[in-house]
Amino acid sequence: MTVSNIRRLFRLYQGYGKWFLFSILLNMIVAAGTLAIPALSADLIDNGILIKDLPYSLHIGFLMLIAAVIAGICQIGNAAIAVWASEYSSHKLRKQSFEKIQSLSFGNIDRFRSSDLLVRLTTDVQNVKTAIQQSVMNLMQAPLLLIGTIIIMHSMAPGLMWIMIVLLILLTVLLVVYFVIVEPAFSKKQAKIDEVNKALRETLTGIRVVKAFVRQKYEIDKFGDATGDLRIAALRPQHVMAYLMPTVFSISILGFAAVYYFGGVQVLAGTGLLIGDVTSSAQYILILMMPLLIIAIVLPFITQANASLTRIYEVLDATSEVQNPILPVNIDPGVVKGRVVFENVSFAYRNANGDPEGEVLKDINLIAEPGETIGFLGATGSGKSSLIALIPRFYDVTKGRVTIDGIDVRSIPQNVLRMIVGVCLQESVLFSGTIRESIRFGRPDMIDDEMLIASEAADVDGFVRNIPEQYDGRVARRGSNFSGGQRQRLAIARALAQKPKILVLDDSTSACDVATEARIQDAITNMMSGTTKFIVAQRISSVITADRIVLLEHGRIVATGTHSELLTANGLYQEIYESQLGRGLRAGSDTS
């Protein structure tokens, strides 16, 4: 694990250093108990068993028992600290990451992708948690056992030290090679896990479409390819891990045998080495293997956790493209008139490196007076949604500026701006809870009368009254227990309940029939006569009553006027009008 990742991880535990000191103390006691037992066994053999001194043998045996019990109790205490430390870190990392995601701009979220963020907050955090638990429980003991074994072995049987040195060199080289091979392999494996999660999420969220077009086999094959790539990526580190343990075990057995062979030779040669020393030396060789085995066991977790931490810190270190102003303009949402001006606005989305790509909006100049309703029409990809997303600062302009009452939106604090601008997006996302909670989402403290006014304006009250629980009726995840038109109406009610000075409706009635849409538009006009309204639509019927209709093509404004003016003077508008009338597109898809 890199030093920077370790340093940042330790910062999570500020104020809890005493517990880590206590864990170090417990590990020292465990290591001391583990190292004491072979030394006591040598004394037991040489000074008790071989000379048949029963009282002394019982005394040493009792000391060995005490050492084992104390070490065991301390190991249990250390395990408890390890569990706490791992759970605490996972909680902090998830919380910090989630808070960071909430602060990121739409552009940041677009590049990270929601499926990727989900993996980082679950699988990656779990990898870090496991590594911390294993490290606190086992890894802290490794250097203590290693140093203690070398010191005791050197004092007890210096003639056998060369065996230990050879083993250390072999195993160190083995672990270094292992680390070099496995670390990049784990990073590649994690990337493939992201791809599997992406494929799974897309298929599950779009399962109705898959079944409607009988594309199950295609999706199965696509998911099979993703899981196949993951299998191949996972095989390399798993193979190395599978080979590592038997190799370390084989080397330790060879060292064990070498100690008995060469130790036995020295005992027979009368070098002063005792039988108990040989026996305990063999045990110390096995103890020497323990820290290296611990490293071999824990290293995969640490390697995987390092890759996961890097991915988590990519989120935590991300800088939102939309920042709150350093010197904000103090503006009272209650006194905002709602005059919106686009001044020479150009806009481009950013690529994975954060660099602007091709412009999707070019040289936009537009003024919306307070209380005016502006409709936007244009082909898919003409820039309609991108244009209105600049008003609440979901994205920042690349060139020019957008102002509200003469104030650049970049100078208004984001929380204030979002109070001024109410938004109903293309996708009507509803959170699980009650209908009442869904409508109050932007203003949890609103009274029922305000909620009912917004509900009636959005034509929600009609279908809610048919639900037994009415406004306490449940909303399933993403509003799946409502039709498309009902979800859109709930989303509109949520935006209206905010009482914004500027209202943005991005194709928000596309799933409603024309009659329902007309009722909603009339109600909004009556309820919010002083509110500046921006309506993005595919159907002319959605904007036919707007004060002005803006026609967009390839990111540019090509025409502006009322319905009558455009129908008379603009050929493109005439084509859209005739095609929709001819194909009967005035009727929506939902009559609920």
The ranges assigned to domains in the chain are: 95-316, 333-427+499-583
Residue 407: pLDDT band (50, 70, 90) is very high
Tell which wins on pLDDT, 424 or 514.
424
How far are the Cα atoms of 432, 435, 486, 488 from residue 480, in angstroms, in the given order? 10, 13, 10, 12
Which residue type does 500 have?
P
Residue 586 has pLDDT above 60, yes or no: no
Residue 501 gets the label, from left (phi > 0), alpha (psi -120 to 50) or beta, of alpha
How far are the Cα atoms of 41, 127, 263 from residue 272, in angstroms, in the given order? 18, 51, 11
Nearest-5° Cα angle at 574, 571 to 576: 115
- Distance CA(521)–CA(528), nearest Å, equals 10
Distance, CA of 264 to chain centre: 59
- Distance CA(137)–CA(83), nearest Å, equals 9
Residue 592 has pLDDT above 60, yes or no: no
Q: Residue 193 has what pLDDT?
A: 79
8 A C-beta contact, residue 104 and residue 320: yes
Residues 6+ apart with CB under 8 A from 437: 431, 444, 475
Share of the chain above pLDDT 70, in %: 97
Residue 38 has pLDDT above 70, yes or no: yes
Residue with tokens 């079944």: 211
Token pair listed for 215: 């594309």
SS3 542: helix
Residue 45 gets the label, from left (phi > 0), alpha (psi -120 to 50) or beta, of alpha
H/E run at residue 26: helix 17-44
Residue 414: pLDDT band (50, 70, 90) is confident
Residue 583 has pLDDT above 60, yes or no: no
Domain at 95-316, CATH from 3.30.470.20, 1.20.1560.10, 3.40.50.740, 3.40.50.1000: 1.20.1560.10
- Distance CA(47)–CA(51), nearest Å, equals 6
Token pair listed for 461: 């009250």
Q: Residue 340 has what pLDDT?
A: 93
8 A C-beta contact, residue 241 and residue 295: no
Residue 481 is classified by DSSP as: T
Highest mean pLDDT among 66-80, 280-294, 346-360, 457-471: 66-80
H/E run at residue 161: helix 161-205
Q: Residue 584 has what pLDDT?
A: 45
User: Per-residue pLDDT averaged across 203-232, rounded?
Assistant: 81
- Distance CA(239)–CA(551), nearest Å, equals 61
Q: Residue 70 has what pLDDT?
A: 93
Token pair listed for 20: 């880590």
Token pair listed for 487: 């979800």
Q: What is the DSSP string of 87-147?
A: HHHHHHHHHHHHHHHHHS-HHHHHHH-HHHHHHIIIIIHHHHHHHHHHIIIIITHHHHHHH
CA dihedral 443, 445, 448, 453 (to 10 degrees): -30
- Distance CA(266)–CA(278), nearest Å, equals 9
Which residue type does 364 have?
I
Residue 151: CB atoms within 10 Å: 11
Alpha helices in 392-447, H assignment, sequence order: 414-420, 435-439
- Distance CA(5)–CA(309), nearest Å, equals 7
Residues 6+ apart with CB under 8 A from 524: 457, 492, 496, 503, 533
Mean of the per-residue pLDDT values for the chain?
A: 82
Q: Which CATH homologous superfamily contains domain 333-427+499-583? A: P-loop containing nucleotide triphosphate hydrolases (3.40.50.300)
Q: What is the pLDDT of residues 105-155, one digit of tens each?
A: 888 777 777 777 888 888 888 888 888 888 887 777 778 888 888 888 888
SS3 206: coil
- Distance CA(382)–CA(558), nearest Å, equals 11
Q: What is the pLDDT of residues 61-95, one digit of tens each?
A: 899 899 999 999 998 998 898 888 888 888 888 89
SS3 425: coil
- Distance CA(532)–CA(548), nearest Å, equals 12
Q: What is the DSSP string of 207-265?
A: HHHHHHTT-HHHHHHHHHHHHHHHHHHHHHHHHHHHHHHHHHHHHHHHHHHHHHHHHHH
SS3 323: coil
Tell which wins on pLDDT, 126 or 242.
126
